[in-house]
Structure 1
Amino acid sequence: MQSIPWDHKQVSTPNCYADIPSWDYHDHPNLCVEPSISSSFLRDIILKSAKHAFQRSRFNPAYAADAEQSEAMALGRFLHSAVAGEPFEHDCVLRPATVGGVAYQGNRKEWRDWKAAQIAAGKYILTPEMVERAKGMILALGEFPLVRQGILNGAPERSLIWRDPRGFWKKARPDQIPNDSGDYIDLKTARGVTYRETQSAIINYGLCQQGAMVLEGARALGLSASSFTLLWVESTAPYCVRAQTLKDEDLARGHALNELACKIFWECYQTKHWPGPGDDREDAEFVDLPDWWRKSVDDRVKFELREAA
C-alpha cells in the first residue's frame, strides 16, 4: 500500500496521505482546494439534520471548537495512538497533580486555563485512572486471537482523500489500511460488547455509513477493498474484545445513505440554506409511534396487565 506524506499545503490531488494530524484532518477549514466532507459530517446529516451538521462544522462562520472532552473521546484517542505506535505526547497529556500549586479543582481558574490551553494545542487529557484503564484495554487487545494474528498490522491513520464529480472532496480515515488484504479495520471503544449493544451502536452511530465511506475512498484510489471490520474493546473491566465484519448488504445501505447525505449537503452548500428537522413544513405533522409500543399498549389494555408488556 503506497501513501505520500502531506506537504502541509492544500490537497489538490486524490491520494492516500500520511502524516496529516488529527486536527488538520477534522478541523482544517481549507484542507482541500475545494470544500471537503468526511463520514462524520454525512452521518450528522442523516442521524440529525443538515442544520446540525452545519453547526458543528467549519462551514459555519461562527464555528467554535468544542471546549469539552468526554472521557470516551480521550480514551479512544489514546488507544488509537498506542495501537498506531505513536508516543503518548503525540496528542495526549496526563493531568498533573497540581497546576500553579493548586491541587485539581475543575472550577478553579488555574485549571480552566490549563485545560483550555491543552485543548487549543490539540491534546486529549487523561487522568491516571484513565491511563490504567487504557492499559487494561491494550492488554486485552493483545490477547485477542485476531490481533495476535495481525489484524492491526496494517498502515495506521492514513487519510484517503478523493474528489466527488459534483465539485467537492471526500475524506476517510480508517484506523488500519491492510497490507495484504482488502479488510479495513476500525477500532471502537464501548461500554459493552454484547451482540445487542454492538447492534445498537452500529445503528445509533451510523457505522455502516462510515464503513461504506472507507471502502468508497479505497476503491476511488485504486486500493483493494473487500470488507470493513469493527474491532470493539470495552472501556472498563473485564475489557472484553469482539470483532464484527459488516455485511455487504448493510454497507450498501450505508453507501445509499451517504449518497443521500451528499445530495443534501451539496444543495445546502450551494443555496447557503441548512434546514433542521421539520423546517420544510409550514404546518403540524402527524407522528407515527413505533409498532412495538402500540402493541404493548394494546396488550396491556386487552389483558388488563398491571405492568407494561
Structure 2
Amino acid sequence: MTVQPDQVPAVNTTAGTAPPAEPFVVTQPGVYTGVPADTYHADPTPTGSLSSTGARKLLPPSCPALYRHWRDNPQPPKREFDLGHAAHTLVLGAGPGIVEIKHDSWRTNAAKDAGKAARAAGKVPLLSADYATVNAMAAALREHPTAANLLRPVGGQPELSLFWIDPETRIWCRGRTDWLDVSRPGRLIVPDYKTCASAAPDDLQKAIWDHGYGQQADWYLGGLRALGLANADAQFVFIFQERRPPYLVTVAQPDPFALKVGAHLNREARHLYRECVQSGRWPGYTDDVALISLPGWVENRYAKELM
C-alpha cells in the first residue's frame, strides 16, 4: 500500500465566482494526505467510521449513549487545550497556525477580541507567556536524541489520515497519525506526541491506563497492518513532554500486556459499535436495575459492628 496523493478537491479560482468544492468523501481504504483536521473529525466516510477516541468512549466508564452524543455534538475549541495543540503544531510542523496575543491575560477586551479573530481564522491564539512556552518546548524536544530521531523531517510525513475496514466486523475504522515514516529501514516505529503534567515513567503507567493509550497504540498498529504498511513487529511509541520547565521528554512504549488489553478492548468496542449501528439503539450505562454498594472504606468501618 502506498501513500496516496492529496485527496482534497481544490476550488476553481479562475475568473468569475468559484464553484464550491465537492465534499471530501472516502470510499476506498487508504492513507490520505492533505485532509484538514476538521474534515477528518467530521468523518468523511458515507456510512460512518469508528476512531480510536470513539472506541474508548463507547466502553465503560462511558457508554454508547455518551459516545453518540459526543459524535453528534462537536465541542468548540477549549482554551485549556490550546497550549497542547500549539506545541503539536511546532513539533510536527503541521496543524493550525499559531497567533501570539501580546497580552498578559485574557481579561481585557483587546485580548479577547484578538483571540476571537484568531479562532475565526482557524488558528490557535496564545498569550505571550504561553507562546514562549511552546517555542521552548519545541526546542527542548529537538534536544532529546530519541524523540528528535523519531520525528526526523527526512522521509516522514505529519498528520496522515488512515481509513480501513476491520476484517472481523467489517466496520469502517479511521485514524490520524502524528508522524509516519515508511522510508526508514528496519521495523516501522510510529510515534505519537503528547503533552503532560509529568513525564516521569512511574506517572506514565497510570496515564497510559487512564487515557486508554494502550488501546490507541493497538488501534493504529491494526490500521497500518490492514493497509499493508506495517508488519507484526511494528511498534507504536508515545513521546511525552512536560508543559513546565525544563520541558522534560520521555519516549514510552506500552508493554506487550498493555497492548493485549488494548486489543481486547478495541475488539469489544468494534463489536459494540456494529451492534449499535445495526440496531439503531445506543444504550446508556445499563438497562437493568443497578445494585450499588457503598464505598469499600464505609463497609470496612461498619463491617464488624453490623455483622
What is the TM-score with the length of structure 1 in the denominator? 0.80
* Residue identity opposite 1:18 in structure 2: T
Equivalents in 1 of 2:66, 2:54: separation in Å? 9
CA offsets, 1:42-72, max 9 Å, x none? 1111241111111110xx3xx2x3234142x
Change beyond 3 A, Cα 1:134–1:3: same
| Runs of at least 5 residues in structure 1 that lack an aligned partner in the other structure | 302-309
Distance 2:298 2:97 in 1: 48
Structure 2 SS opposite 1:43? helix
State how far apart, in whole Å, the 2-side matches of 1:67 and 1:7 are.
Answer: 24
The amino acid of 1:37's aligned partner reads: L
Deviation by residue 1:166-223 (Cα, 9 ceiling, x = unmatched): 4531111121213323111111100111223211111111101110110001000101
1:92–1:126 CA contact under 8 A, matched in 2: no
RMSD: 2.8
Q: Could you report, residue by residue, the CA deviation over 1:122-174 in whole angstroms, capped at 9, with x for unpaired residues? A: 433222111111112112111112134x1112322111111235453111112
2:15 counterpart residue number: none
C-alpha displacement of 1:112: 6.5
Unaligned 5+ residue runs, structure 2?
10-23
* Structure 1 counterpart of 2:174: 171
Change (3 A) 1:158 1:68: closer
Identity fraction in percent: 28
Residue 157 of structure 2, aligned match among 150, 155, 158: 155
Aligned residues: 277
Counterpart position of 1:43:
56
Q: Which amino acid aligns with 2:159?
A: E
* Contact 1:34-1:168 at 8 Å conserved across structures: no
Deviation, 1:288, is 7.4
Deviation at 1:105, TM superposition (A): 3.4
Aligned to 2:8: 7
Residue by residue over 1:81-107, the C-alpha shift from the partner in whole angstroms, topping out at 9 and shown as x without a partner, is 222224xxx513425358xxxx9537x
What corresponds to 1:82 in structure 2? 90
Residue in structure 1 matched with residue 47 of structure 2 by the alignment = 34
Structure-2-length-normalised TM-score: 0.80
Structure 2 partner of 1:307: none
1:304 maps to none
Structure 2 CA distance for aligned equivalents of residues 267 and 117 of structure 1:
43
Determine helix, strand or coil for the equivalent of 1:170. strand
Q: Output the CA distance in 2 between the equivalents of 1:205 and 1:114.
A: 33
Pair 1:276 & 2:284 matched: yes
1:170-249 map, 5 Å: 170-178=173-181, 179-180=183-184, 181-225=187-231, 226-249=234-257
* Distance in 1 separating the partners of 2:115 and 2:280: 35
8 Å contact from structure 2 (residues 219, 266) kept in 1: yes
SS at match of 1:158: strand
Q: Deviations over 1:242-299 (max 9, x none)?
A: 0111122321211110111111112122222212223x21x23143756xx589x57x
* Deviation beyond 6 Å, 4+ runs, structure 1: 110-114
